[in-house]
Amino acid sequence: MTKSLKRNYYTVIIVALLIVCAVISRIIGNLDICPITLGLIRTFIYIGLYIGWGISVSKRIIHTQVRRHLVAVAFLNVFWFVIRSMKYYFVTDPDVSRQLCYWYYFPMLFIPLISIFVSLSLGKPENYRLPKWTSLLYIPTIFCLLLVATNDFHQLVFSFQTGEVWTDKNNEYAFGYYFVIGWEIICALTAFTVMVIKCRLSQRKKYLPLSLLCVCIVYALIYASGAEWLRIICGDITAVQCLMVTAILESCIQCGLIQTNTGYDALFEAGTFKAQITDTAYHTRYASANSPKLSDIVMRSAENGAVGIDEKTVLKSNPIEGGYVLWLEDISDIAALLRELEENKETIAESNFLEQENYRTKLKINTLQEKNRLYDLLQEQTAHQIDLLDELITRYNAEDNKEKRRSLLAKIAVIGAYIKRRGNLMFIGEKSATTDTAELMLCLEESFANLELMGVECAVDIPSNNKIDTTDAIRVYDFFEAVTEEAIDDLHSVWFKARSNADSVIFRLEAECESELDDFSRLAEKSSFEDGVWQFTLKVEKAGEQQ
Based on the domain organization, do 326 and 453 belong to the same domain? no
In the predicted model, what is the mean pLDDT of residues 422-451?
86
In the predicted model, what is the mean pLDDT of residues 215-225?
72
Query: How high is the pLDDT of residue 45?
Result: 87
In the predicted model, what is the mean pLDDT of residues 150-155?
86
In the predicted model, what is the mean pLDDT of residues 388-408?
80
Residue 190 lies in a domain: yes
- Which of 262, 282, 299 represents a domain boundary (last residue)? 262
- Domain tally, the chain: 3
Based on the domain organization, do 83 and 218 belong to the same domain? yes
Query: How high is the pLDDT of residue 200?
Result: 57
pLDDT higher than 50, residue 263: yes
The percentage of the chain sitting over the pLDDT mark of 70, rounded to a whole number, equals: 87
Higher pLDDT, 529 or 299: 529
pLDDT higher than 70, residue 320: yes
Based on the domain organization, do 423 and 311 belong to the same domain? no
Residue 345 lies in a domain: no
Residue 404 domain boundaries: 382-541
Residue 358 lies in a domain: no
Question: Helix axis angle, 207-225 relative to 175-199, nearest 10°?
Answer: 150
Residue 359 lies in a domain: no
- Which of 221, 243, 262 represents a domain boundary (last residue)? 262
- Which of 262, 281, 299 represents a domain boundary (last residue)? 262
Half-sphere exposure for 352 (CA within 13 Å, toward CB)? 6
Based on the domain organization, do 270 and 282 belong to the same domain? yes
Query: How high is the pLDDT of residue 88?
Result: 76
pLDDT higher than 50, residue 414: yes
In the predicted model, what is the mean pLDDT of residues 355-372?
74
pLDDT higher than 60, residue 44: yes
DSSP class of 542: B
Based on the domain organization, do 248 and 270 belong to the same domain? no
- Lowest-pLDDT choice from 209-218, 258-267, 374-383, 481-490: 258-267
Query: How high is the pLDDT of residue 537?
Result: 92
Q: Tens digit of pLDDT for each residue in 439-453?
A: 888 888 888 888 888
Residue 354 lies in a domain: no
Query: How high is the pLDDT of residue 547?
Result: 37
Give the pLDDT band of residue 140 (cuts 50, 70, 90). Answer: very high
Residue 155 lies in a domain: yes
Q: At 487, is the secondary structure helix, strand, or coil? A: coil
In the predicted model, what is the mean pLDDT of residues 37-61?
85
In the predicted model, what is the mean pLDDT of residues 112-118?
89
Query: How high is the pLDDT of residue 371?
Result: 64
Q: Tens digit of pLDDT for each residue in 477-521?
A: 888 888 888 888 888 899 999 998 888 899 999 999 988 888 888
Contact, 188 vs 115, CB < 8 A?
Answer: yes
Give the pLDDT band of residue 270 (cuts 50, 70, 90). Answer: low
Q: Give the pairing type, strands 467-469 and 504-512.
A: unpaired
Residue 400 lies in a domain: yes
Contacts 24+ apart (CB under 8 A), 212-220: 212/244, 212/247, 212/248, 212/251, 213/248, 215/244, 216/192, 216/241, 216/244, 216/248, 219/244
Based on the domain organization, do 274 and 258 belong to the same domain? no
Q: Which helix (H) or strand (E) holds 496?
A: strand 493-500
Based on the domain organization, do 431 and 473 belong to the same domain? yes
Query: How high is the pLDDT of residue 507?
Result: 92
Give the pLDDT band of residue 206 (cuts 50, 70, 90). Answer: low
Residue 320 lies in a domain: yes
Based on the domain organization, do 258 and 303 belong to the same domain? no
Q: At 406, is the secondary structure helix, strand, or coil? A: helix
Based on the domain organization, do 312 and 444 belong to the same domain? no
Give the pLDDT band of residue 143 (cuts 50, 70, 90). Answer: very high
DSSP class of 2: -
pTM confidence score? 0.51
In the predicted model, what is the mean pLDDT of residues 87-111?
83
In the predicted model, what is the mean pLDDT of residues 258-273?
64
Look over the chain and give the mean of its residue pLDDT values, rounded to a whole number. 80
Query: How high is the pLDDT of residue 546?
Result: 39
Q: Tens digit of pLDDT for each residue in 326-363?
A: 877 777 777 778 778 888 888 887 777 778 877 887 87
Q: Of 9-18, 162-171, 193-202, 230-239, where does the model show the most confidence?
A: 9-18
State the virtual CA torsion across 388, 394, 398, 401 in degrees, nearest 10.
Answer: 40
3-state helix, strand, coil in the chain (%, to 5): 65, 15, 20
